[in-house]
Amino acid sequence: MKNSPTLGAWLQQARETFAQQSDTAGIEVQVLAAHVLKRPRAWIAAHPETLLSDEQASHLNTLLGRLLEGVPLPYLTGKQEFFGLEFEVSPAVLIPRPETETLVEAALQWLKRFPERNRVADVGTGSGCIAVSIAYHMPNVRVLATDFSHEALKVAQRNVNRHGVSDRVQLIQCDLLSACAGMFDLVCANLPYIPTSALDETPPARFEPIAALDGGESGWEKIKALLQDAPRWLVPGGCILLEIQWDQGQTVSEIARGIFPAAEIQILQDLAHLDRVVLIQTTREKH
């Protein structure tokens, strides 16, 4: 590609180059251009005559090369939208995905149903997208968010600060809820749930943190460990929301039933009509 093309010429060639790898190539190269030129994507689309500087063209070509290598777009721009908010992301955290919004929506519905219940935990917080989204939309709620990764928690803290919820979201470095003695009304968790044997066939495993994807031999090892510890920190009548792989609903429900025999257990589907979240509503009696 020649130096200093117009923006429109760069977009056209980049789209044609990337089209074999993505059904949304046009949108993705526009997002790259918006990131480099520091303009909204609508402006990028409306100003194809703009002449790129040598520096801009070089930066765009470098990013396009990385996109062609398979690097996820959010890692190149450093941001991803989730539940209507923009989150910082880096290779230290899992990229927030639309299917996880199913869990957040369920959490908000539960908290609105039980307004007196306001102690929430987000286990394996990563970028902090679940904790921040809940706190942002529920001003009376306090959230404790945990992760074993110090680097992930640094990203989460910046997202907490970005959205003005630092007075209600506390971050702690630990495995699951091992360092937490308090009781919680609602516990949300998007833990690793991909079986180790399937990671080689999972595209995100090339670039996203393996520890956030690897669910052990069964795929639900971390989920089971969290549930086994649940009677220690869940209040009577509390609720647990667990994101799962599409084929794990029955197994995770059975594990939960063994720990909370009287609980009401539901499997919620995402927008693609796949099983995505297990909801465990416990009774008011002590576990």
What pLDDT shows up at residue 287?
54
Q: Please tell me whether residues 44 and 92 are part of one structural domain.
A: no
- Binding-site residue numbers are 124-128, 147, 190
Residue 48 lies in a domain: yes
Is position 134 within any domain?
A: yes
Do residues 137 and 186 share a domain?
A: yes
pLDDT value of position 3: 57
Task: Please tell me the predicted confidence (pLDDT) of residue 1.
Answer: 45
Residues 31 and 159 in one domain: no
Could you read off the pLDDT of 131-144 as tens digits, one per residue?
A: 999 999 999 999 99
Instruction: Return the CATH number at 249.
Output: 3.40.50.150
| Binding annotation for S-adenosyl-L-methionine | 124-128, 147, 190
Residues 60 and 185 in one domain: no
Residue 45: Cβ-neighbour burial (10 angstroms; 0-12, 13-18, 19+)? middle
> At 259, which helix (H) or strand (E)?
helix 249-259
Predicted pLDDT at 255: 98
Distance between CA atoms of residues 11 and 249, nearest Å: 43
pLDDT at 151: 98
The pLDDT score that the predictor gives to residue 260 is: 97
148 with 272, same domain? yes
Identify the pLDDT of residue 204.
Answer: 85
Regions of the chain with pLDDT less than 70? 1-3, 286-287
For residue 169, the model assigns a pLDDT of 98
> Do 143 and 268 belong to one domain?
yes
Question: Do 95 and 212 fall into the same domain?
Answer: yes
Does residue 44 sit in the same domain as residue 106? no
- Do 173 and 62 belong to one domain? no
Structural domain span for residue 38 = 7-70
Q: Domain check: are 99 and 23 in the same one?
A: no
What angle is formed at CA 105 by the lines to CA 104 and CA 108, rounded to 5 degrees?
85
Residue 287 forms part of a structural domain: no
In angstroms, the CA 62 to CA 43 distance is: 22
**Would residue 2 count as lying in a domain?**
no
* b/e per residue 175-209 (b: at least 16 CB within 10 A): ebbeebeeebbbbbbbbbbbbbeebeeeebbeebb
129 and 204 fall within a common domain: yes
Q: Do 149 and 224 belong to one domain?
A: yes
Number of domains in the chain: 2
Dihedral (Cα; 220, 174, 178, 192), 10-degree rounding: -10
Measured CA to CA, the distance from residue 104 to residue 176 in angstroms comes to: 19
Cβ contact 102:276 at 8 Å = yes
Sign of the dihedral through C-alpha 148, 155, 84, 120? positive
